[in-house]
Amino acid sequence: MSDNTHQAKKRFGQNFLVDDNIINRIIRAVSPKTGEHLVEIGPGLGALTEHLVNNDCQLDVVEIDRDLAEKLQQRYTNMPNFRLHLIDALKADFGAFAKPTQSLRVIGNLPYNISTPLLFHLLAYKPCIQDMHFMLQREVVDRLASPEGHKTYGRLSIMVQYHCHVEPLFVVPSTAFKPAPKVESAIVRLRPRHREVSVTDPVFFARVVNACFQQRRKTIRNGLKLILKELPANCVTNIDLGRRPETFSVDEFIDLANQLSASR
């Protein structure tokens, strides 16, 4: 949907995808099939919407910008498989979109300023999501996919990798957008996973991971100082708390959080 009259709004972090080659690569990566239920977050000028709505999919679109929403609604008003929701994606109930017998496939060019909180919001709906394909700042994708021991490994890596398989797909140059952002972007695929060993208390797990990375250059023991004060002395016997948090794998963080939780 070409529209040179719409002025990108900084408060919504708008950068519109205009490169047809990149658009086609994204659609090939998503590979929408007839009858699937898709949710597009932040459709903007409809660069991806045009391809998705014509694939005979059920398409729910979430847009916060009233001007863009009106343009999209007018364009696709005669498409029975198109539904538009004028709402902030951070407040959207994605579970309400899903049907009991069919999971959602989520797609989006996520604004840089809300990408991390939006990812955490979406993880709460993991049971009803098949997969997610997102355009994010390249630095964020690097953090999502980072293995332990790397400088990009941290809270975001662990929390997302606990819930999902993370697959970086390809880099998108800033010239693919109008206006062009100052940083590169990348496409990432997230597929919800079911671990053999899961955390016994998800809220406590998140608290442990967050505490450990508040001072990432210090040891786990230092990071957990306040939490350990709440627990019996010597409550963890088989985990070396003298290591730094970036050396712990996701599985080790699960083990750590579960042992601490059992001691409470």
For the segment 32-77, what is each residue's pLDDT rounded down to a tens digit?
999 999 999 999 889 999 999 988 899 999 999 999 999 999 999 9
Residue 240, domain member (yes or no): yes
Full domain range(s) for residue 246: 202-263
Examine the domain organization and report whether 121 and 146 are in the same domain: yes
155-161 average pLDDT score: 97
What is the pLDDT, as a whole number, of residue 161?
98
The pairing of strands 82-86 and 58-63 is parallel
Give the pLDDT confidence score for residue 14 in this predicted structure.
64
Last residue of a domain, one of 192, 211, 230: 192
- Where among 192, 218, 237 does a domain terminate? 192
CATH number of domain containing 67: 3.40.50.150
**Does residue 80 share a domain with residue 133?**
yes
> How much is the pTM?
0.91
Q: Do 167 and 232 fall within a single domain? A: no
Do the domain assignments include residue 147? Answer: yes
Q: Indicate if 212 and 188 belong to the same structural domain.
A: no
Per residue in 182-236, pLDDT tens?
899 999 999 999 888 899 999 999 999 999 999 888 999 999 999 988 888 767 6
CATH number at residue 216: 1.10.8.100
Establish if 5 belongs to a structural domain: no
How many domains, in total, are found in the chain? 2
Distance CA 219, CA 211 (A): 11
Task: Looking at the structure, tell me whether residues 185 and 208 fall in a common domain.
Answer: no
* Domain co-membership, 127 together with 236: no
Both 17 and 131 in one domain: the answer is yes
> Do 126 and 110 contact (CB within 8 A), yes or no?
no
pLDDT of residue 12: 47
Report if residue 4 sits inside a domain: no
Q: Is residue 229 domain-shared with residue 132, that is, in the same domain?
A: no
Does 1 fall in a domain? Answer: no
pLDDT reading at 9 higher than 50: no
| pLDDT exceeds 70 at position 5 | no
Q: Do 130 and 225 fall within a single domain?
A: no
pLDDT of res. 217: 87
Instruction: Work out the number of other CB atoms within 10 angstroms of the CB of residue 144.
Output: 25
Q: pLDDT above 90 covers what percent of the chain?
A: 75
pLDDT score, position 236: 64
- Domain membership of residue 197 (yes or no) is no
Q: Are residues 166 and 215 in the same domain?
A: no
Residue 215 confidence (pLDDT) = 85
Q: How confident is the model at residue 7 (pLDDT cuts 50, 70, 90)?
A: low
Q: What is the pLDDT of residue 182?
A: 87
Task: Give the integer Cα–Cα distance in Å for 51 and 76.
Answer: 12
DSSP 6: P
Q: Mean of the per-residue pLDDT values for the chain?
A: 91
pLDDT in tens, 84-123: 999 999 999 999 999 889 999 999 988 888 999 999 999 9
Task: Tell me phi and psi for residue 43, to 5 degrees.
Answer: -70, -20
Identify whether residues 166 and 207 lie together within a single domain. no
Residue indicated by tokens 């007839």: 34
Identify the pLDDT of residue 56: 83
On whether the CB atoms of residues 142 and 183 are closer than 8 A, the answer is no
Do 152 and 249 sit in the same domain of this protein? no
